[in-house]
Amino acid sequence: MLYQREALDSPQWWQGLDEMIEREREANPDSWQTALIPVLHYVQDCFGYVPAKAINHVAQALGVPASYVCGVASFYSYFSLEPRGAYTISVCQGTACFVRGSQSVLDEVCRQLDVKPGETTPDMLFTVSDSARCLGACGQAPVMMIDDDVHANVQPNEVQDILAGYIAEARREMQAREELIEIDARAQHE
Ligand code: FES
């Protein structure tokens, strides 16, 4: 998924976030933690991480210290405090996958992208997870997940083609976005 990091500078985006916080506060008047989770999901899904600016903003809106918000965001592995690539790759290192060669798949992913497990490619397209345990599809080992897509019975010689599919998808999405921005800009000048 390509993120909308440019929205960090958009007053409309922050206004939308405030409206969401207000709705969650009203729906969960007794628990700021319950109100916080969907808000953090929204931020994470927009940016691919939870930026410090968002932590401070949300904390202020909920009337709690920023360290509390940071503590919740750090507790759940879904949230990241550091920018992630558009796609997160998890090569299962659980027992069933390991005995069927998942380490070679992980090595090939890292070789193709020139990163180590836990790192993000410089173009911010891929992050390779360093902590993928059983992904719940042991019968299809070795298993690799890219975001929510499950790739079953993956062999090292298939990795390049799989990654190429995501690179092509990202290019298409970027092109579509650029076209939209151009259409918007033209509309404003008309
Ligand atoms: S061990 Fe890999 S999916 Fe279960």
Residue range 87-111, pLDDT digits in tens: 999 999 999 999 999 999 999 999 9
Kindly list the distances between the CA atom of residue 154 and the CA atoms of 22, 108, 143, 163, 190, in Å, as whole numbers in the listed order. 45, 11, 6, 12, 52
Residues having CB within 6 Å of any atom of ligand 1: 92, 94-97, 134-138, 141, 143
Q: If you average pLDDT over every residue of the chain, what do you get?
A: 92
Domains of the chain: 6-75 (1.10.10), 87-181 (3.40.30.10)
pTM equals 0.77
CA of residue 118 to ligand 1 center, whole Å: 19
- Max distance between CA atoms of the chain, in angstroms, equals 63
Residue-wise pLDDT for 115-158, tens only, equals 999 999 999 999 999 888 899 999 999 999 999 999 999 999 99
Pocket test for ligand 1, best of 91, 105, 135 (most atoms within 8 A of CB): 135
pLDDT given for residue 184 in this prediction: 76
- Interval between CA 148 and ligand 1 midpoint (Å): 15
* Ordered strands of the 87-91 beta sheet: 126-128, 87-91, 144-146, 149-151
**What is the residue with the minimal CA distance to atom 1 of ligand 1?**
94
Q: How many angstroms is it from 99 CA to the middle of ligand 1?
A: 10
3 state SS of 151: strand
CB–CB of 3/47 below 8 Å?
yes
Task: Calculate how far, in angstroms, residue 154's C-alpha sits from the geometric centre of ligand 1.
Answer: 12
From 65-69, 133-137, 160-164, 174-178, the region with the lowest mean pLDDT: 174-178
Query: Which two structure tokens, joined as six digits, stand for 167?
Result: 């690179």
